[in-house]
Amino acid sequence: MSQRPLALIVLASALACTPSLVPPESVEVPCAPSLAPPESVEAPCAPSLVPPEAVEVPASADPREVARGVLPPDPAPVAPPPGAMGFDRAAEVLFLKGADAGVLEACRGGEGDAVRCLIEARYEGDGAARREALALYDETGTVAGIERPHTMDGGYRGMIEIVPELPVGRHRRLLTWVLAANRGYQTFFDGLQARASAPLGFRWRSLEMRFFRSVGRTTPSAYAIRWTVAFNVSGSLHRSEDAVRETLFHEVFHLNDEAHGRWSDEALGGIYEGIVERCKDGRGKPVTSCLRPFAPHGTMVRGGTFYAFQPGNDVREYAAELAIRYYREHQLILAGRRLDRPAFKCGSPENARAWSLIAGEFFAGVDLVPPCRAP
């Protein structure tokens, strides 16, 4: 989600990679559960059955919420450069203010990587989680720690209490899937870079992963701000490895969009506004059937329309959905597989333009999708 107040959406799941008729109260989420209004839709993939009350679309924190005191102030508002995380920052990510002085002293003065020492100490009680947290750091520079406690404005869902929760024990599965997602990104970006004539403009490594639990809730599943992605250990979206991989990609794209000066506002704003204006009814409400060819992803809001075009969202959500579609199609192509649906860029001139722009800005212009057939 873009950096706005959370948009909480009730979702449900559908069958993998097959057309399905989804009940009226359900909606679709990135590559796993599927959601749709009463009409029939083609579900993306990854089967998983989720209670209708228990799922929502991930969201990102709004910097304005920090100013209002809804979110905790970030002790380092300027994002660190890509590379190894500093000791003090890693200690805060892992322990907040609660690190034992002895642990800090031992890790700071010991031999070897001091951040690895901190990770080992933090995950001491769960050997499997410790190995995965260390692997995530060793392979990507990302440190998996805990979110700061705060109260989040959840829109119509009200205020949501966020508390830190380490992904250990029964929550370890989420850390396992996050590590798998990052390994998949490595393969994906290596494949793109090998076919690019310039460096890719997309950062996905050396992030802060902050895990949390929403008290008495399963929402939000995730949010992102200032090179930090926060994941709910009980998030209703996190029902499969595929769902976690695409949710994480969605959030990391928002971080990159912000780092590129909110690129989507200027680059895609005209395309987005043109589609929205074209697909309004006489009362100014979106017409789903008109929007369908332009929606990069099948995510829909219950009682509304495609998430990318839902009133209250903006071009940044359209861009994040477009990024997921780029990832999906190129992931298949790099794996030597055929697309599981018609190429997005071939759906309309607007789609082709948006596709070219996002490829050029973030992926060094790489477009491995076959050319569209002449109409």
pLDDT band at 368 (very low <50, low <70, confident <90, very high): very high
Q: Which residue is it, tokens 């200032």?
A: 226
What confidence score (pLDDT) does residue 333 get?
A: 98
pLDDT at residue 305 greater than cutoff 70: yes
Percent of the chain with pLDDT over 90: 68
Q: What is the pLDDT of residue 9?
A: 36
pLDDT of residue 78: 36
pLDDT reported for residue 323:
98
- Give percent of the chain with pLDDT exceeding 70: 77
pLDDT digits (tens, 9 = 90+) for 239-295: 899 999 999 999 999 999 999 999 999 999 999 999 999 999 999 999 999 999 999
Q: Determine the Cα–Cα distance for residues 51 and 40; give it in Å rounded to an integer.
A: 20
Q: Which two tokens stand for residue 319?
A: 């861009």
pLDDT of residue 157: 67
What totals of helices (H) and strands (E) does the chain contain, helices first?
11, 8
Written as one string, the DSSP assignment of 248-267 is HHHHHHHHHHHHTTSHHHHH
Quick one: DSSP state of residue 363?
Answer: S
**Ranges 38-52, 240-254, 343-357: which has the least confidence:** 38-52
At 133-149, the pLDDT tens digits run: 999 999 999 999 999 99
Mean pLDDT of 6-26: 31
Q: Give the confidence band of 301 by pLDDT, cuts at 50, 70, 90.
A: confident
Q: What is the C-alpha R_g of the chain?
A: 20
**What local confidence, expressed as pLDDT, does residue 156 receive?**
53
Domain extent listing, the chain: 60-239, 263-362
* Residues 69, 24: Cα–Cα separation, whole Å: 37
User: Quick check: 33 pLDDT over 50?
Assistant: no
The rounded mean pLDDT for the chain is: 81
Question: Which pLDDT score, from 0 to 100, does residue 76 have?
Answer: 34
The SS3 call for residue 77 is coil
What end-to-end distance do the CA atoms of the chain give, in Å? Answer: 35
